[in-house]
Amino acid sequence: MIMYSPSFLKEYLGQTVTLRGWVHSFRDHKNVGFLILRRDDSFTQCVMDYSEPLLKKATRSLSRESTVEVTGTVTQCEFSKYDGIEVIVKNIKILSTSASLPFLLSHRNIPLETRLDYRVLDLRRPESRLIFEIQTFVEHKMREFFIENGFIEIHSPKLLGFPSESGSELFRLDYFGRTAYLAQSPQFYKQMAICSGFDKVFEIGPVFRANPSYTSRHDTEFTSIDCEIAWINSHHDIMNFEENLLSYLIEAVLDRFGEKIFRTFGRELKAPKLPFPRLTFQEVLQVLQKTDHQAQPTDLSQSDEINVCQFIKSRFDHEFVFVTDYPWKSRPFYHMKSEHNPALTKSFDLLWNGLEITTGAQREHRYNILGCQAKEKLRHPQNVQFFLDFFKYGAPPHGGFGLGLTRFLMCLLGFKNVREVTFVYRGPTRLVP
């Protein structure tokens, strides 16, 4: 038996079709029943004439979100708000019956925590589905861009015998009687690939942070998009690449989903102008001082980032800004120090509408200097000796960045919380579903 998708029903006017889907709603009148069938993001009005006794009997156990199979004739109906089409039902079969619902999918003011508790239902909403259609498209276009630009995809290990970044925010677990750690990033292995002669590498995969934060932008497991590029001249080469990548992505999303994003989420997406504005960390501090906003001398808070982006929006009409040359005190040991001022690093963050979505830098590739920086920064530098050994046999100048997928989707679609754009969220108090 052929099952037709509701989105193609206009092609089958006057024909008998069989549809399968979810009971979105059901209205039972005296002589007729109206069932709205949902499949993916399509809806079909199905009309049941109760002069057929079997149809009346079948509807007694119908409930919202049950799954059904409907066979009937496709007809035009000027009163149907679903493409002017309805199906006159000849037969209906209940495939599974839904229990009483904790909330109606059509309601808009459902508390977020309730939605996360019943994520299996929340994801059935067409607007939720659209988020992950866009996520799928974004990841596809990212891979396309990387591959067309000569990158090799790697899959680094997620079980490590050492911390991948610092000693904090680590998930520890027993590994055959010794301690292992979940990877906080693929950073060390990206650089291993560069030292192995892979000039350009990328990875799209999970990372884990034991971060006790409860903010709208933090999670303990997320998908990270990472890349590393060899033979660069400075961290500006990495920024040049990233702004071209993001411009390509946003234009592709705008072309494919722009109208739907505006209609569904109210977000008017615009292709960003190139190049993105760039301010050094010291210039950012000066901007904040002029707005009577006192920033920390070594890093930016969330409110700092919001204020900087508001300044950039008003001055350059741009949603993005690279903040460059962060102080050495706030950066990891493998970032390269500035040759002009060793108190600064060749590093950057990318802010998008007040949210940091990327951290990147040129890396220190010289074995002796990298070892000295590890001793300067780390309490136990011997723990990263295996990493330092990658650089013993010659290494090219290189750099890269890490981009959080959920933060990218937040900014792309205009959401305020990573929980809403994560398939199943993990945070300090959420380990199920």
Q: What is the pTM of this model?
A: 0.94
Residue 324: per-residue pLDDT: 98
pLDDT value for 222: 97
pLDDT of residue 291: 78
Residues 6+ positions from 431 with CB-CB distance below 8 Å: none
Q: Is the peptide bond before 433 cis (omega within 30 degrees of 0)?
A: yes
Confidence of residue 408 (pLDDT cuts 50, 70, 90): very high
Q: How many CA atoms lie within 13 A of 174 on its CB side?
A: 2
Q: Tell me the C-alpha to C-alpha distance, in Å, between residue 326 and each of 106, 226, 231, 287, 289.
A: 47, 20, 22, 15, 17
pLDDT tens-place string over residues 161-218: 987 666 568 999 999 999 999 999 999 999 999 999 999 999 999 999 998 888 999 9
Q: Are 318 and 326 in contact (CB under 8 A)?
A: no
What is the predicted pLDDT for the residue at 3?
66
Give the DSSP letter string of 273-342.
PSSPPEEEHHHHHHHHHHTT----SS---HHHHHHHHHHHHHHH--SEEEEE--BGGGS-TTBPBPSS-T
CA–CA gap between residue 348 and residue 359 (Å, rounded): 6
Going by pLDDT thresholds of 50, 70 and 90, the confidence category of residue 306 is very high
Query: Given this model, what pLDDT does residue 165 score?
Result: 62
Query: Mean per-residue pLDDT for 38-43?
Result: 91
| Confidence class for position 52, pLDDT limits 50, 70, 90 | confident
Q: What pLDDT, on the 0 to 100 scale, is given for residue 54?
A: 83
Helix/strand/coil (H, E, C) string of 49-108? ECCCHHHHHHHHHCCCCCEEEEEEEEEECCCCCCCCEEEEEEEEEEEECCCCCCCCCCCC
DSSP secondary structure code for residue 258 in this structure? H
Quote the percentage of the chain above a pLDDT of 70: 97
- Percent of the chain surpassing pLDDT 90: 84
Structure tokens that stand for 265 in this block = 């989420």
Look up residue 36 and give its two tokens.
């709205």
**What pLDDT, on a 0 to 100 scale, did the predictor assign at position 167?**
59
Quote the DSSP letter at residue 222: E
Place of tokens 């920033």: 295
Amino acid 265: pLDDT = 96
pLDDT tens sequence across 86-142: 999 999 999 999 999 999 998 989 999 999 999 999 999 999 999 999 999 999 999
Q: In sequence order, what are the beta bridge partners of 320?
A: 352
pLDDT in tens, 245-288: 999 999 999 999 999 999 999 999 999 999 999 999 999 999 99
Q: Is 70 exceeded by the pLDDT of residue 403?
A: yes
Q: What is the DSSP letter of 430?
A: B
**What three-state secondary structure class fits 381?**
helix
- Structure tokens, 245: 């990548």
Mean pLDDT taken over the chain:
94
pLDDT tens by residue, 378-399: 988 998 999 999 999 999 999 9
Length of the chain: 433
**What are the structural domains of the chain?**
6-96 (2.40.50.140), 120-421 (3.30.930.10)
